Amino acid sequence: MSKNYIWKIWLRLNPLNRSVENDYIADTSTFGRTAHNEEVARCIVKGRSEMRYETILSILNERDTVVRDILLSGSSVQDGNVYLAPRITGTWTGLSQTYDPQLHKTTVDAYPTSSLRRALRAVGVDILGRKNCGGALIGLVTDVRTGDTGGNVSAGGEIIIEGRKIMVVPAREEGLGVFFAPVDGGQAIPLDAPPALNTPRRIICRIPAQVTAGAYMLQIVTRYSNSSVRLKYPRTLEYELPLTIHALHSAPQPAE
């Protein structure tokens, strides 16, 4: 490829390997920035396409609908960058057990195509250093129903997030918010409803009920610095303790 790309990354301590003091993992500095069809259409127009922006955007949106329908029918879809494959999570006990939405979930896996994997070879990495969040941090996460502070939380349940400078600001800006990132990789899952409380020291929110049981890193992406200052670029705060998300019916019970 004729053009080189550089990913700027921050290093942070690996929360899953606390026994090693000098073990770091990387975060891209652009985490939380997402391009939607509107930006893609503008980029195509900028490339001197003879088609109008509105026409291109309409085609992209129609393609999304067609792809979604194909996936809902149970078939896979592949374009030049991504292979999408339907999958059902969960296990069955015996051959007579029926589908149970409390135990099973319909989902879609995404994999890069060989073309995208080849293109990624052109990406360089610029290490910015150890992540510094200017005193901002997530200090404690509590499951409201059980009072657990050890990382056990429930899909569909409320949690209290306490810390410093954690307020999501601006509250409705694209790419900002509270996210649950699978520890084994994959797309971070945002909240499906605004937080019930959103302050610099405390956020109360509900974990989306559709989050699959497993281990996740809690992340907050915000431009908050103080009551009068907004950061030019979003910063990502991550709770050091992985959260183990349980299905609500199988979550640990409150202590008596």
97-134: pLDDT as tens digits: 999 988 899 999 999 999 999 999 999 998 877 666 67
Partners of residue 152 on adjacent β-strands: 244
Binned at pLDDT 50, 70 and 90, residue 137 comes out as: confident
42: Cβ–Cβ under 8 A, 6 or more apart, which residues? 53
- The pLDDT-based confidence of 174 (bands split at 50, 70, 90) is confident
Instruction: Look at strands 243-246 and 214-226 and give their pairing.
Output: antiparallel
How many Å apart are CA 132 and CA 6, to the nearest integer? 21
CA distance 231 to 202: 19
Q: Are 242 and 215 in contact (CB under 8 A)?
A: yes
Q: What is the mean pLDDT of the chain?
A: 87
Helix (H) or strand (E) holding 67: helix 53-72
Backbone angles phi, psi at 190, to 5 degrees: -85, 170
- Identify the band that residue 78 occupies on the pLDDT scale cut at 50, 70 and 90: very high
Q: Which domains does the chain have, with CATH numbers?
A: 5-127 (4.10.520.10), 133-250 (2.70.50.70)
CA–CA distance, 224 with 168 (Å, rounded to integer): 7
With beta carbons less than 8 A apart as the criterion, state whether 248 and 156 touch.
yes
Structure tokens at 112: 């890069």
Q: Which residues pair with 182 in a beta bridge?
A: 216
Do the beta carbons of residue 107 and residue 74 sit within 8 Å? Answer: no
pLDDT band of 59, cuts 50, 70, 90: very high
**DSSP-derived 3-state class of residue 133:** coil
Complete DSSP assignment for 182-195: ETTS-PPEEPSS--
How far apart are alpha carbons 145 and 159 in whole angstroms?
8
pLDDT of 67 over the 90 cut = yes
Dihedral in degrees, nearest 10, Cα atoms 153, 195, 102, 89: -80
| Predicted model pTM | 0.56
pLDDT at 241: 86
